[in-house]
Structure 1
Amino acid sequence: MRLNHNLTSLNIYREYGKNLKSQSTALSRISSGLKIIKSGDDPNKIAKSERMRLQVRGLQMAQRNVQDGASMMQTADGALSSINSILLRIRELSVQSGSGSNSDSDKEEIKNEINEMVETYKDIVNNTEFNGVKLFKSEQEKPMQIGSDVGEVMDIKFYDLSADKVGVYKLDNNGTKVIDDNKTLESLKKMDPKEKDFANRALEIVDAVSEKVVDTRSKYGALSNKFESTYKNLGEFEEITQRNESSLRDADIAEEMMDYAKTSILIDAGNAMMAQSNKFPQDMLRILENVRTR
């Protein structure tokens, strides 16, 4: 036995301190749900975890972009469906105007309804937009980020369906196909229904416009399907990435509770043992007292 240094008590206290630290770590992990809280816990794993978190956030925003794109395509499809119905009615009226039993007043009434249909067509084209973006007023391509990494971009092509920009094509001096200004949907309003070939000319224009509208709707439909499949793939990839990030950073609560229970028992045992070991100097005092009395 030694009086100045109670080595037994010191050894017990050292182990007691270790257990306190382990218990504190277990409590921190249980309360936060994370086994890596600061970079010093595991520098390598926290670097991997942060990169995965960046990717997850990018994937989540890409999914919102794709959802917006799908919604935009749905808006376009609804407008194109209405436009197609208008063109079908104009075609019916054009065929009706070719009846030999029509009087001049009948032809004028038919022409007035055609003009109204053309104006309705123009209203739809001019007013169809999504979040301020006009869908049928210009020929252009706009990029959309559909992934979390560089280069994961899809170009969305917009088409100009203005009444003066759709109709029958002709070849210019360079052999390039251009719209014939005399055979556009807008020019249909200027045609005289009493002319002998009015019905044929109107049908030629309407069929050309219908072909353009159907082609545009088909392309937007394909784009809508692509958005849906892309959204599904992004969701699956995000889930996998989050699962991997969770395995790196999230705490196993059951395991941490076992560590907490174990360290609690060891701490209680340490307290009891320190209480016993701290009595050793008193035992020495009793020994010395016995020596003195002799």
Structure 2
Amino acid sequence: MNRAGDDAAGLAISERIRASTRSLAQAGRNAQDGISMIQVAEGGTNEVSNILVRMRELSIQAASDTIGDKERGFIDKEVQQLRSEINRIASTTEFNGTKLLNGSGEKLDIQVGINNNPFEDRLVFDSANQNITTGSLGIEGISTASKGSAQENLKKLDDAITKLNENRSALGALQNRLQSTINNIGTYRENLDAARSRIQDTDMAAETSELTKANILAQAGISVLSQANQNPQQAVKLLG
């Protein structure tokens, strides 16, 4: 079926299915791009998690009277470098020009359906909720310059780690949902392709049967004509 004249209704249905399968293919690519974006964000949060663990370790060291203020000063230099690194990661982690972890972004729509229903056809990555700057984590003024400040750091860092884990959990949940969407799109496309094939492609078995039937009838017709031509010739021979 290649022309509307073959089967106008069938061709219309086939073309609608073709449009849907092409759109689904792009929706699947969108979902895969969404996973790539989340993996970029996850890489940044994982590194910040390692930094927070190190900062807590240093705070434990500085909270003890087994070292003096001079040693605490050395420890604090590393803590401040780590604090700056958190902000650097937050400000430089981006995907396709969009900042993902510093709270300056907005809600990003990931079109994973073929229609315009905001609840069924789009998933949302809210980059504003993924803010991992030291200010957002509550550790902007963290210091180990004194025993008291080092001791106060412990709860601040615990709270920061908890918040970061919540962010990572949200990223993981969205990534899993996108993967499920990709799997579902693949199954949906296979079913649509099969339906289009049934509508568009010629049923070879039926066509072969019809061709065989036509050939038999044609051969039978030729045989009858041949016999009809032979009978007058035989009559002439008898008369002769």
- Under a length normalisation based on structure 2, what TM-score does the superposition of the two structures give? 0.81
Distance 1:123 1:265 in 2: 83
Q: CA deviation at 1:264?
A: 7.7
- 3-state SS in 1 of match to 2:135: coil
Which has the larger strand fraction? 1
- What corresponds to 1:133 in structure 2? 98
- What corresponds to 2:125 in structure 1? 156
- What corresponds to 2:176 in structure 1? 225
Distance 1:131 1:233 in 2: 26
- What corresponds to 1:84 in structure 2? 49
- What corresponds to 2:233 in structure 1? none
- Under a length normalisation based on structure 1, what TM-score does the superposition of the two structures give? 0.67
Distance 2:87 2:208 in 1: 69
- Structure 1 residues 268 and 134 mapped into 2: Cα distance closer, same or farther (>3 Å)? farther
- What corresponds to 1:32 in structure 2? none
Distance 1:214 1:97 in 2: 25
Q: Which structure has the higher relative contact order (CA within 8 Å, separation 6+)? A: 1
- What corresponds to 2:196 in structure 1? 245
- What corresponds to 1:234 in structure 2? 185
* Amino acid corresponding to residue 148 of structure 1 in structure 2: I
- What corresponds to 1:193 in structure 2? 145
Deviation track 1:109-135 (CA, whole Å, cap 9, x = no partner) reads 110111121122222212212222211
Distance 1:211 1:156 in 2: 20
| Gapped regions of structure 1 (runs ≥ 5) | 1-35, 168-184, 280-294
1:107 to 60, 66, 72: 72
Deviation track 1:240-262 (CA, whole Å, cap 9, x = no partner) reads 11111111002234555666677
Deviation track 1:39-91 (CA, whole Å, cap 9, x = no partner) reads 11111111111111111111111111111111222222222111111100000
- 3-state SS in 1 of match to 2:33: helix
Count of residue pairs the alignment pairs up: 225
Distance 2:148 2:94 in 1: 37
Q: CA deviation at 1:204?
A: 2.9
Alignment RMSD, CA only?
Answer: 2.8
Distance 1:260 1:112 in 2: 89
- What corresponds to 2:22 in structure 1? 57
Q: CA deviation at 1:238?
A: 1.1
In the TM superposition, 1:1-294 aligns within 5 A as 36-138=1-103, 140-151=106-117, 152-158=121-127, 159-167=130-138, 185-188=139-142, 191=143, 193-194=145-146, 196-253=147-204, 255-256=206-207
- 3-state SS in 2 of match to 1:39: coil
Distance 1:267 1:144 in 2: 61
- What corresponds to 2:235 in structure 1? none
Q: CA deviation at 1:202?
A: 1.9
Q: CA deviation at 1:208?
A: 2.3
* Amino acid corresponding to residue 70 of structure 1 in structure 2: I
| Gapped regions of structure 2 (runs ≥ 5) | 230-240
Distance 1:166 1:106 in 2: 26
- What corresponds to 2:238 in structure 1? none
Q: Which has the larger radius of gyration?
A: 1
- 3-state SS in 2 of match to 1:143: strand
Distance 1:133 1:265 in 2: 71
Deviation track 1:195-228 (CA, whole Å, cap 9, x = no partner) reads x421132223222221221110011111111111
Distance 2:192 2:124 in 1: 26
Which has the larger helix fraction? 2
